[in-house]
Amino acid sequence: PLNLTGNARIEGVNSSSEANTYIESPYDNEALDMTGNAQIAGDVSIANANGYVDLTGNCRIGGETGQAAIDNHVTFGASSVEFPTPDPTQFESYATNIVDPSVSTNGNKSFENIRIAAGTNPTFSGNITINGIVYIESPNLVTFSGNTTITGMIVAEGDLDAPNSQNQLHFAGNLSCQGVSQLPQSSQFDGLRDETGTFILAPGFDLSFSGNFNTVNGAIAASGISFTGNARGTVTNTIINYSADPMTLTGNARISIDRSNSVTGPSGLSGQTILALEPDSYTEGTP
């Protein structure tokens, strides 16, 4: 499900269709709950045929309010979408520098291709610069509370089928990020620069933003996602919540989606492959 309260918004940068939203919500018929001045600029497709939308206040979907917003911009019983399968392990080999309880993450620090050991539960405070991969073992409670600059990708090895409350990733400060293609032309980033299209790949992890971020160059995928307070920024691909719990935007949270340069087939997210018989593509003969 999806919940928006207060002045929360999902917007499109170039057109309202970039904010189109798909909601599966198989276990909760209240698929979309919007309260206050919440807005979704695009259309909403809900796979649950018994699903419904609850609008309270001056909420807008597709630029319209009230029943017109539901009638004209919400589809119920939409065709189910096959969610891509996340594979964090393919990035494990890049994470060569261990961060464990013996490594200080406070103050102004720089890191490169790090692997956060299970149970470290670090808080990165101060002015933090990270290049390359941030690979997070499970379980871990990882917090970025200062001014964080990341050129690269965050990957966590949680279990998609068994999310753990001890697996959390929280951005409380200001986040500035660039995609892997912007990494330096150094050997430690060879191969990684080609893994484009994804910024956060965290199955089994709860992900939350309470600070601001600039343009996120890639998809965000996790098992539970929330944007609170004044969190706002631009995402150049898609946001995927694998959890049965609602994705939430509260307060003045504002997410802008820019698909103009999005990468098809983001790294670490694979679709289902189906082998289909095409009788017209061949002929049978006898020797």
pLDDT of residue 46: 98
Coil, helix or strand at residue 163: coil
* Contact between residue 141 and residue 206 where contact means Cβ atoms under 8 Å apart: no
Taking only the tens of pLDDT, the chain with its 287 residues reads: 999 999 999 999 999 999 999 999 999 999 999 999 999 999 999 999 999 999 999 999 999 999 999 999 999 999 998 899 999 999 999 999 999 999 999 999 999 999 999 999 999 999 999 999 999 999 999 999 989 999 999 999 998 888 888 999 999 989 998 999 999 999 999 999 999 999 999 999 999 999 888 888 889 999 999 999 888 889 998 999 999 999 999 999 999 999 888 888 889 998 655 556 677 777 776 66
Q: Are strands 60-61 and 167-171 parallel, antiparallel or unpaired?
A: unpaired
pLDDT of residue 262: 81
* Contact between residue 36 and residue 55 where contact means Cβ atoms under 8 Å apart: no
Q: What's at 116, amino acid-wise?
A: I
pLDDT tens digits for range 222-277: 999 999 988 888 999 899 999 999 999 999 999 999 988 888 888 999 865 555 66
What is the helix (H) or strand (E) element at residue 70, kind and residue range?
helix 66-73
Structure tokens at 73: 């911009």
pLDDT tens digits for range 100-126: 999 999 999 999 999 999 999 999 999
pLDDT of residue 88: 92
What is the helix (H) or strand (E) element at residue 178, kind and residue range?
strand 174-178
pLDDT of residue 272: 55
Where are the extended beta strands (E) located within 38-164? Answer: 39-40, 44-46, 52-57, 60-61, 64-65, 74-76, 85-86, 97-99, 109-116, 123-124, 127-136, 140-144, 147-156
pLDDT of residue 264: 83
Structure tokens at 172: 């409380």
* Contact between residue 66 and residue 55 where contact means Cβ atoms under 8 Å apart: yes
What is the helix (H) or strand (E) element at residue 200, kind and residue range?
strand 198-202
Edge-first strand listing for the sheet containing 44-46: 21-23, 44-46, 74-76
What is the DSSP-derived secondary structure letter of residue 73?
A: H
Q: pTM for the full model?
A: 0.89
Measured at the alpha carbon of residue 142, what is the angle toward residues 244 and 149, in degrees to the nearest 5? 110
pLDDT of residue 282: 72
Using alpha carbons, select from 68, 60, 67 the residue that is nearest to residue 8.
Answer: 60
pLDDT of residue 154: 97
